[in-house]
Amino acid sequence: MRKWWKEGIVYQVYPRSFYDSNGDGIGDLQGVIEKLDYIQSLGADIIWLNPVYRSPNDDNGYDISDYYSIMEDFGTMADWEQLLAQMHQRGMKLIMDLVVNHTSDEHPWFVEARASKDSLYRDYYVWRPADGKQPPNNWRSFFSGSVWELDEQTDEYYLHLFSKKQPDLNWEQEEVRLDIYSMMKWWLDKGIDGFRMDVINMISKPPQFEDAAPVGDDGYANGGDAFINGPRVHEYLQEMNQKVLRHYDILTVGECPGTSPEEALKYVGEDRQELQMLFQFEHMKVDRSPDNKFETIPWKLTTLKRVLTKWQTELHGRGWNSLYWMNHDQPRTVSRFGNDGQYRIASAQMLATCNLTMQGTPYIYQGEEIGMTNVHFTDIEDYQDLESVNYYHTRMKLGEDPRQVLEQIHQQSRDNSRTPMQWDASEHAGFTTGSPWLKVNPNYASINVEQDRVADRSIFAYYQQLIQLRKEHLTLVYGSFENLLEEDEQLFAYVRKDEQGTYLIILNFTEQEARFQLPDYLPHGGWEKLLGNDDNYHDSDQDKQTPANLQNMIFSP
Ligand code: ISL
Ligand code: CA
């Protein structure tokens, strides 16, 4: 069935780093309002806004101390209402981040909860008695160290999968769930158009909290098998759907690390009444060691294609995909999957083509549309992301070489995506007139929105064409997906097809030219090139289309 949230293009705004309207060095809501023309001109019609709620900012807003207020750094509720109104006037939709696996430790619920064992809010969080000096189990937090923190006052440990300033809510407690549902309704009744749900597949933890294996050199183990897609998660989401979601025409996307297509269908299967789509992370793992996200490993195109193809085909007709190369937690797209040197522009365009010609709802992260790259801070002090900073200090304690650890951080740090948006070549890339909260990538003088606009080959303009094409050819949204070259390490070629048409997409992921052989069962000759960035291709070449050097083409017969 056709749906606005299937046909829409999402632009993700990380407000802290997008545009600073008042010179305090921090991006803000008025900054987003000022740049709505920019986002709309790209062709995006939905914005996913990272958390803007009140927060002490231990994890840049993912530690919420009041779900009903706006963070002062970002502005006021009036600013937020103005943003929503202006977006709706333009026919754009606003998706808010929903962070309900945990709150801030400064949230009044937790302040109350930790005050005494008899507090009315005690059971809003997960507590275990202190038995000697050992935490209740050996799970490692996503941000290093134990998932348990001893609360001295009541001599019990509380659970935090993320930082110790992000205590996990206890979803077993019905009052917690009902309070969350009321809060969701409150925002939906203000007129928002959906939620991106932070680590929503981790909200149900088996109460036994058994040790996990294997134990790493830091003394901890990954407890994910227990709490990822935990025992009651679907019960909770069906309840949330019944009580809240089904009463609104909204987009819902669950962030679900560690989820296979089979598991995914339990969340997004059309018969399930849970969510509409989720973010899967399998393609975010192709270049990482399974035990350590900071350990970059060489990746193969065949692996990436296998993962993407599996999601395309297994969800087809049964659930809906979301498509992305990056977000605020991931390295920059061109640096990771393309080439951020000589072929930066060609590869940014090629990767854009891939993201925008598969089945699912495409997400574009701020700066991706101008080919922004990873940053290489040489001093750990320049990194702000607590995941990177904690990792660094943990590895230092284990006696590792600081240069090597910094090199790992260069590749995989979340700050790669969080450096300020590069608007122009003026100081601080035109992001702020003040001093930015996180240093601007030094390459801003050559990579910025202004520069891209006047360049011979504009990435932004290419995105515009691509989005236009997708909107005009709905087969690119709804059609089936067939991977043509499973074993090829250079080309990703696939066919999108339905009653309306057939489309052939050829992408070269390498720096070398590649030869594409049309399979016999596809028409030979008569293909029209709709879009592409390979200037060397001529229509007379029909059977030997050769996308060169990280370039790509889209054809239709
Ligand atoms: O497990 C991962 C990828 O395989 C992680 O990147 C995981 O997705 C991430 O740590 C969860 O992210 C979300 O919740 C965090 C917050 O810091 C991130 O910014 C947010 O996107 C805690 O709220
Ligand atoms: Ca500001």
Q: At what angle do helices 386-397 and 402-412 cross, to 10 degrees?
A: 160
Ligand 1: which of 107, 147, 199, 416 to mutate, judged by most atoms within 8 Å of the beta carbon?
199
- pLDDT at res. 540: 58
pLDDT tens for residues 393-404? Answer: 999 999 999 999
Distance CA 118, CA 123 (A): 9
- pLDDT at res. 544: 56
Report the Cα 60 to chain-centroid distance in Å.
15
pLDDT tens for residues 68-111? Answer: 999 999 999 999 999 999 999 999 999 999 999 999 999 999 99
Distance 199 CA to ligand 1 centre (A): 7
- pLDDT at res. 240: 98
CA nearest neighbour of 364 among 6, 17, 2, 46: 46
Nearest-atom number in ligand 1 for the CA of 142 is 10
Instruction: Say if domain 480-556 classifies as CATH 3.90.1150.10.
Output: no
Where in the sequence of the chain do the CATH 3.90.400.10 domains occur?
A: 108-159
The C-alpha angle with vertex 29 and arms to 25 and 32, in degrees rounded to 5, equals: 90
- pLDDT at res. 131: 83
Beta bridge partners of 322: 361
By percentage, how much of the chain surpasses pLDDT 90? 91
Which amino acid is residue 517, in one-letter code?
Q
User: Is residue 542 over pLDDT 60?
Assistant: no
Distance 442 CA to ligand 2 centre (A): 21
pLDDT tens for residues 451-495? Answer: 999 999 999 999 999 999 999 999 999 999 999 999 999 999 999
Buried b (16+ CB within 10 A) or exposed e, 246-260: eebebbbbbbbbbbe
Say what the ipTM of the complex is: 0.95
Architecture in CATH of 9-102+174-459: Alpha-Beta Barrel (3.20)
pLDDT tens for residues 16-64? Answer: 999 999 999 999 999 999 999 999 999 999 999 999 999 999 999 999 9
Distance CA 425, CA 345 (A): 18
pLDDT tens for residues 423-438? Answer: 999 999 999 999 999 9
Where in the sequence of the chain do the CATH 3.20.20.80 domains occur?
A: 9-102+174-459
Using 50, 70 and 90 to split pLDDT, how confident is the model at 7?
very high
User: Is residue 539 over pLDDT 70?
Assistant: no
pLDDT tens for residues 414-423? Answer: 999 999 999 9
Neighbours of ion ligand 2 (CB under 5 A): 20, 22, 24, 26, 28
Distance 447 CA to ligand 2 centre (A): 23
Q: Whole-model pTM?
A: 0.97
Using 50, 70 and 90 to split pLDDT, how confident is the model at 549?
confident
Distance 389 CA to ligand 2 centre (A): 24
Q: At what angle do helices 261-268 and 301-315 cross, to 10 degrees?
A: 30
Distance CA 236, CA 100 (A): 12
Q: Which protein residue has the closest C-alpha to ligand 1 atom 15?
A: 62
User: Is residue 548 over pLDDT 80?
Assistant: no
Nearest-atom number in ligand 1 for the CA of 255 is 8
Helix, strand, coil shares, percent, the chain, to 5: 35, 20, 45
Report the Cα 57 to chain-centroid distance in Å.
19
Cα–Cα distances (Å) from 351 to 31, 216, 354, 362, 483, in that order, read: 28, 35, 5, 12, 16
- pLDDT at res. 541: 58
Distance CA 487, CA 495 (A): 16
Q: Which position has the higher pLDDT, 460 or 523?
A: 460
Instruction: Tell me the catalytic residues.
Output: 198, 255
CATH of the domain spanning 108-159: 3.90.400.10
Q: Is 167 in the pocket of ligand 1 (CB under 6 A)?
A: no
Where in the sequence of the chain do the CATH 2.60.40.1180 domains occur?
A: 480-556
- Please tell me the number of the ligand nearest to residue 386's CA: 1
The average pLDDT across 344-368 equals 97
- Identify whether the C-beta of residue 6 lies closer than 8 Å to the C-beta of residue 320: yes
Q: Which residues make Cβ contacts (< 8 Å) with residue 193, sequence separation at least 6?
A: 46, 93, 94, 95, 250, 251
The average pLDDT across 299-318 equals 98
Q: Which protein residue has the closest C-alpha to ligand 1 atom 11?
A: 199
Cα–Cα distances (Å) from 192 to 184, 240, 364, in that order, read: 10, 17, 20
User: Is residue 555 over pLDDT 90?
Assistant: no
The average pLDDT across 159-178 equals 98
Give the residue carrying structure tokens 């808010």: 96
Q: How far apart are the first and last CA of the chain?
A: 26
Using 50, 70 and 90 to split pLDDT, how confident is the model at 244?
very high
The C-alpha angle with vertex 288 and arms to 286 and 292, in degrees rounded to 5, equals: 145
The average pLDDT across 297-323 equals 98
User: Is residue 543 over pLDDT 80?
Assistant: no
